[in-house]
Chains A and B, each alone.
Chain A
Amino acid sequence: MLEYAIIAAIKVTTIIVVVLTGCAYATWLERKLLGHLQHRIGPAYAGPYGLLQPIADAVKLIFKEDIVPDRVEKVTHSLAPIISFIPAFLSFAVIPVGDTVSIFGRQIDPVISDLNIGVLFIFAVTSLGVYGIVLAGWSSGCKYSLLGGVRSSAQMISYEIAYGLSIIGVILLAGTLSMQDLVTQQSSIFDWFIFRQPLGFIIFVICGVAETNRAPFDLPEAESELVAGYLTEYSSMKYSMFFVAEYANMITVSCVVTTFFLGGWQGPLLPPILWFAIKVFLFMAFYIWIRGTLPRFRYDQLMNFGWKILFPLALLNTMLTAWIKLW
């Protein structure tokens, strides 16, 4: 029992450290890549290629004054960053990063917990993050924050349905809800669900971007309309917690896409964990590429797109897959 607890603790610590570092360097990657997309060079002064920039940013954010406006709901205002921060990290519990390995004679699964309903767990937990944003918007006592929070919740509801439906095709084909099983079923590249479920993949990616409130779906923090949306009244560490949560969510979605559609840790020659990292990295780069390419949706376009295009398409995809499966 103790041994089990120790192994679990080591896994959890590793994941948290890796994901936090990943978040920090996702900001670096984003600034660098966006810069190069616009013929700039991005961060370049802190360390070689600006590699120390995330550390400098973190130090700066920690030392900044935490300004709490008079009109905020104090408790909720402080709670909201935590509420969005924790679910962002929870979902890593079920993401498998490799095959079972034996270290010191013990069989170790490189996943904190291989739940038999891992997919459901991820969907449940990633949806929780919106509470943080809504509460932040509501408790700030500021109209921009409120609009940001309202937008976020409406957007989440609209895209959650297509998000969930798009994955049902994969689940139907795989016949399992366990993440590890999903990966083992994609052992050769032709078995990857991206080729067996192309429409599902596209819908999932679009909804994943919308779920994490990233461009072109970044309406909750649309800086040209809402100052900074739900982040307007936040500063210092609370602000950075939202920031880290956003990037952790991006990494989550990248991991989930990798697991569902891109064969997870499967790949030739290189060790599984490296394959996983490469795939996640490429997907993160794709995320940033999207941000560098597409302009923001208008709000009614966003709603129309979610309800009138993605939702029917996802339904169609589900029914087609079910028909193929049964037939």
Chain B
Amino acid sequence: MGVFREVFLAIPMGFYTTLKHLFKKPVTRKYPYEKREMAPRYRGRHYLERYEDGSERCVCCGLCAAACPADAIYMEGAENAKGERYAKVYEINLLRCIFCGFCEEACPEEAIFLGHDYEFSADNRDVFIYTKEQMLANRPKDKPFKKIIRRVKRIF
């Protein structure tokens, strides 16, 4: 009676199944218009953090550049009027960067973080050299200070 089961049971059951799914909520996201919230520890485009008074946290120690396995970070230090070190030039080559997050782990000042930005497309390679000004501006305004979860224990 295989034929009987197929015709009088299986086919109506199939129709019932598809009908049931017709009234379920679609899973589609209208991507460019509705962006999904990324996971808290998602590693996207970098940003530089500031102190509450607005001064930059980065002291240009070079640990991030040293930790970077892709050799994507370039920096030049300088001193400001108060004699504090700061990064005169701080550039990340996003085409080299592998978004491993070692720079944020290495940073003793908690100055550099990887944000939630993941849209990188451009029609020009120069755009991917990501300068300090861009990184400072990239700080998500509405997000609280990101707590870094270190895989490497601080030794100082």
B24 & A39 in contact (Cβ 8 Å cutoff):
yes
Q: In whole angstroms, what is the CA distance A72 to B24 when docked?
A: 47
Dominant secondary structure at the B interface: helix
Q: In whole angstroms, what is the CA distance A289 to B18 when docked?
A: 8
Contacts of A35 in B (CB 8 A): 26
Q: In whole angstroms, what is the CA distance A36 to B30 when docked?
A: 15
Q: Which of B14-47 contact A (CB under 8 A)?
A: 14-15, 17-19, 21-22, 24-28, 30
Task: Considering the complex, give the chain A residue whose CB is closest to the CB of B15.
Answer: A293
Q: Decide: A289 near B15, CB < 8 A? Known: A38-B21, A39-B21.
A: yes
Task: Considering the complex, give the chain A residue whose CB is closest to the CB of B28.
Answer: A41
B11 & A36 in contact (Cβ 8 Å cutoff):
no
Contacts of A39 in B (CB 8 A): 21, 24-28
Which listed residue, B11, B19, B21, B30, touches A44 by the CB 8 Å rule?
Answer: B30
Contact with A along B1-22 (1 / 0, CB 8 A): 0000000000100110111011
Q: Which of A284-327 contact B (CB under 8 A)?
A: 289, 292-294
Contacts of B19 in A (CB 8 A): 289
Q: In whole angstroms, what is the CA distance A38 to B11 when docked?
A: 18
Contacts of A38 in B (CB 8 A): 21
Is A143 in the interface zone, CB < 8 Å from B?
no
Is A278 in the interface zone, CB < 8 Å from B?
no
| Chain A proximity of B54: nearest CB distance (Å) | 42
Which residue numbers of A lie inside 8 Å of B, CB to CB? 33, 35-41, 44, 289, 292-294
- A sample of 29 inter-chain contacts (CB < 8 A) reads A33-B22, A35-B26, A36-B22, A36-B26, A37-B18, A37-B21, A38-B21, A39-B24, A39-B25, A39-B26, A39-B27, A39-B28, A40-B26, A40-B27, A40-B28, A41-B26, A41-B30, A44-B28, A44-B30, A289-B15, A289-B18, A289-B19, A292-B18, A293-B14, A293-B15, A293-B17, A293-B18, A294-B11, A294-B14
Given contacts A39-B26, A41-B28, 8 further A-B contacts (CB under 8 A): A33-B22, A35-B26, A37-B18, A39-B21, A40-B28, A44-B30, A293-B17, A293-B18
Ranked 8 nearest A-B pairs via Cβ? A293-B18, A41-B28, A41-B26, A39-B27, A293-B14, A39-B26, A292-B18, A37-B18
